[in-house]
Structure 1
Amino acid sequence: MFQASLPHHDTGGFTSHRKFLSDKEYGEALDCIVKACSDMLLLSPDGQLVFLGKRVPDWWFVGGRIFPGETPVQSCRRLLQRELGLLVEPERFTTVCAQSLAWAMREQLPKEHGTTDAQFVLSLMLREDEMGKVVLDPKEYSESQWARPEDILSGSYHPALKFAVHALLARRKLQALQVAVSEGQDDGRIAELARAFVHASMHSPPSGRSDYQLSARELDYECEVVTTL
């Protein structure tokens, strides 16, 4: 579950030749590739709330497709500026987790061909002065909310979102352990924090059908989610 970062290895000096694709061309591309996405868990300044955006088909991360040659952090910075109007320093992002996604429906025709993603999740704690600057892109989100991590874990949210929140909370346990070690705290305290981290890091989502039901009126679509480990 845990990586300190998401390394980007450029072998030979890659140059992007990305170009605009029509909906038809993009749909054909989606039939043949797994697209990479960088998604974010945006946190309130005190770290107690997670920002969620309502987009087709449900509450989701802030983020989107990674462009060729971008690192996940570079992609997050671009998407954050485009979708919420914020420009932040790259060192403020923290690695959370990675997971794969498959969707039986998509926006591009033919919708029933679906799409597949490789998702990299990072977190970012917003500053007080940034909270009031958040401007939603109406083309991407119909509404937004701030939710407590525990409410996401106990509520009706996609298993991918819940897994990322679990990973976020476990990483906090790891960070507390790292601080204790660097500060030379007593062995009893370090052992306590180590046990808490190990316990949190052992979480895996239940394999099989989820209780969550995805319902997308815009796509005239309702379905279940099956998780494979």
Structure 2
Amino acid sequence: MAVSLLYFLLVTILPQNYPNEPAVVTKIATALNDSTADGNVLFKFTVAGEASVIVIVRVRSNAALDRITSRLRCTGYLEIRSQPIITYESHARNLNVSADLTGPYEGTLQPENIYWFNLRVDYNNKTTEELLDIWKTEAESFLGSRKSGSVRAVAFKNLGEREVQLFINAPQPDQFDLLLFNTPIVQAIGSDIRAMSKGVLFLN
């Protein structure tokens, strides 16, 4: 594709569909499988315990995204929120992180114990330069851990926003909780980070 745009989609099944929720989820999965003419779906998850689906999609244009979401709406009563994103590797390259850490991720998420973390970073009492230094240190730590194999995860940054979408295997959630508290960015500005976590499953 000449142009490559990434989007994060949060698809919420509305109460009108609740009696037929499994059938609607199946229709959503089918609609996403049929979307290859306009782009390709990189990841698709259901949120554990909720009537929601998360999709990471690569498209050729905003019009192509609109066609995909129109097909999704034909599957039932849905609320669809779309967010343009970039890969975390692109974000790290923008921060001048070493090239040996910012290549394409060759690992895969395992189907068990996947968690979605939404991290919003504020920077009260920090200059932009200080924030960029913190972001760079965090990117080097995360990508270094992933390269060593100690972390299995994929991440994206919201375009133009201080927000990250992280999908990670956490076989022992209590230990991961401790690991998160010890990351450079939490150590530096923990009180300015708003985090949300959800369990997710592959949609298949």
Give 1 or 2: higher helix fraction.
2
Larger Rg: 1
- More relative contact order in 1 or in 2 (CA 8 Å, sep 6+)? 2
Is the TM value for this pair above 0.5? no
TM-score (norm 2): 0.30
